[in-house]
Structure 1
Amino acid sequence: MKRIIPLLVCLFVYYGTAFAQSFSKTLKETPGMVSYTFRNQFAKDVPGTLDKIKAMGVTNMEMSNLFGKQASEIRTWLDERGMRCTSYGVNYDDLANKMETVIQNAKALGAKYVRVAWIPHKGAMDLAGIQKAAADFNKFGEQLHNSGLTFVYHNHGYEFQPHEKGTLFDVLMKETKPEYVSYEMDILWVFFPGQDPAALLKKYPKRFKLMHLKDLKKGVEGNLSGGTPPDNDVALGTGQINLPAVLKAARKSSIEFFYIEDESSSAEQQVPQSIAYLKTI
């Protein structure tokens, strides 16, 4: 009995600590934040904005911009606050023509993932555009892989044009190499063009590594344009997307990091609401 009691105490401490550190029943860690959420604040004061985000309990950043600073500067500010950058967002041209700079910045930030969120195109996306992007993504992904980084593409809605028995997004998945190309699911930009984020996760459980948590204002109708006014972003749990279903599917996928993104002018008020809501799921 004397031996059993200390063992029970150790188990209680271990599992009690693990439970205390769990953010919610569906998310082990507090979600990260996409810097674009606070783009206007970051443009004026990077360290001060990081302080605001840290005060919300968020320590993981996806930097979608360097805001005129050096990557090494931002890394120093993150380190000083016990924060980290796990994903670095760049544009298509950077990957095509400035790969060495992208790699240097990503490593300086400490990021694991390099993300692009837009395929240049005019009018509706077509098969030729998707096939060219797939070939480019394989090339970008191999270069990043060889430097110890992982390439991810962030969907934006226009990729879901119907094609044969599926969509152009299915073509993109089929023609990109899993060893070099992964994906970041933006759930709003899956839902907006009429798709089901949970179903897409179940269809491709191993391809998605990152997720943007967003919600779409009730009453807003979607389309395949890849665009909607920023103020159609609302606090999580107050819009149209079934977040519990999405997160349940995400638990069975290969997603490593979740990030809150709120593009609206009310982000400072809505983000705390979103964090509080996620804790209830």
Structure 2
Amino acid sequence: MNYNRRKFIQSAGALALGGLALSGKAGTLLNNLKPGHAVGLQLFTFFGVIDEDVKGTLTKIAGLGYKELESAFSKKGGFYGMSPKDFKATVNDLGMSWTSHHVLGAPFKLPPGSKMPLDADGKPMVIPPLKNLRDNMQELVDSVAEGGVKYLVCANSPTATLDEIKSTIEVLNKTGEAAKKVGIQFAYHNHDMEFHPVDGKVPYDLLLSETDPKNVKMELDLAWAIKGGQNPVEMFKKHPGRFPLWHVKDLDASRENILPVGSGTLDFKPIFAAAASAGMQHFFVEHDMPKDALASITSSIGYLKNTLNV
């Protein structure tokens, strides 16, 4: 089973309580994004792997040419078992920047029959309960500020009912205000579920319209948005400057299986050409639960540099 980030967060978080044309063969990158733009990586790609050898894994990532990192959940807790300052120092020593960090918005209720993802030995993963913005907001904001991170991102939050959407919007606005006070930009990361109507209303539209556009930006996961029936370029036109962060992954034709960037069916050329209208500042390659994370990110950065000329 292709166990993606949303399913993982919903399972793990409960313990604490994509639209465009085919052809991944894009041509030369058009204007709006200069060649040499830093390529980032979302470390959830290495979930279940990085904790075995944090520095060794980061060294391999840096060796491939990745310059920016977005951290995520760790079985060791905290920042891969380190304090914010120690993790920042480790990343910087390898020639990379720690740019962003993911946290849970509010806990999910674990659906009946749901199970945790399996580790390499086929056993359910054991991780610490995830802290969340609803219950631990100031602690999470302060820890990211201690590490000098530019962005704090809500990785996911319940939006299955109008009450859940209202609660999530409240959490996002409060966190955006708290982050602003310490000089951090807050953002929300989507999956495809936010584009499925709830009682006639699209959750993502409500998240955009009912959060402060200055305090709550969006980290657009391009693939999940496309799976949800959206065209990222049109989204940028409707909400210019609202999308400073992107997640970049690829999907097969069924939109069910995640693939390395450039090896699937998504056309990234028009999206990257519209980077200026999006307000994009940083993008992060991500592959949820890949069989071989290193092989996947090697393929992805090769495509971005050699085909898109990033």
Superposition TM-score tier, normalisation by shorter sequence: 0.7 to 0.9
Matches within 5 A, 1:240-259: 240-259=265-284
**Pair 30,79 (structure 1): closer, same or farther in 2 beyond 3 Å:** closer
TM-score, normalised with respect to structure 2: 0.74
Are the equivalent residues in 2 in contact too, given 1:131–1:175 (CA < 8 A)? no
Choose the corresponding residue for 1:156, options 158, 166, 191. 191
Q: Deviations over 1:237-266 (max 9, x none)?
A: 221211111111223221110110012213
Separation in structure 2 between the aligned mates of residue 165 and residue 31 of structure 1, nearest angstrom = 38
TM-score (norm 1): 0.81
Secondary structure (helix, strand or coil) at the match of 1:117 reads strand
CA distance in 2 between partners of 1:251 and 1:88 (Å): 23
Q: How many Å separate the matches in 2 of 1:246 and 1:163?
A: 28
- Alignment gaps of 5+ in structure 2: 1-27, 74-78, 107-131
Taking only the aligned residue pairs, the percentage that are identical comes to 31
Q: Unpaired runs of 5+ in structure 1?
A: 1-22, 222-227
What does residue 64 of structure 1 align with? 72
**What is the 5 A alignment of 1:16-165?**
26-27=33-34, 28-65=36-73, 66-93=79-106, 94-120=132-158, 125-162=160-197
The structural deviation recorded for 1:79 is 2.2
Q: Is the 8 A contact 1:75 1:108 kept in 2?
A: no
CA displacement at 1:45 relative to structure 2:
1.1
The structure-2 alpha-carbon separation of the partners of 1:179 and 1:244, relative to structure 1 and needing over 3 Å to count, comes to same
Moved more, 154-163 or 173-182: 154-163
The structure richer in helix per residue is 1
SS in 2 for 1:116: strand
Task: Give the match for residue 120 of structure 2.
Answer: none
Partner of 1:225: none
Q: Distance in 2 between matches of 1:172 and 1:192?
A: 18
1:24 offset after TM fit, Å?
6.2
Q: How far 1:90 sits from its partner (Å)? A: 1.1
SS in 2 for 1:51: helix
Q: Is the 8 A contact 1:88 1:115 kept in 2?
A: yes
Instruction: Find the aligned partners of 2:141 and 2:42 in 1 and give their Cα distance.
Output: 19
Shift of residue 132, structure 1, vs aligned partner: 2.3
Counterpart check, 1:266 vs 2:278: no
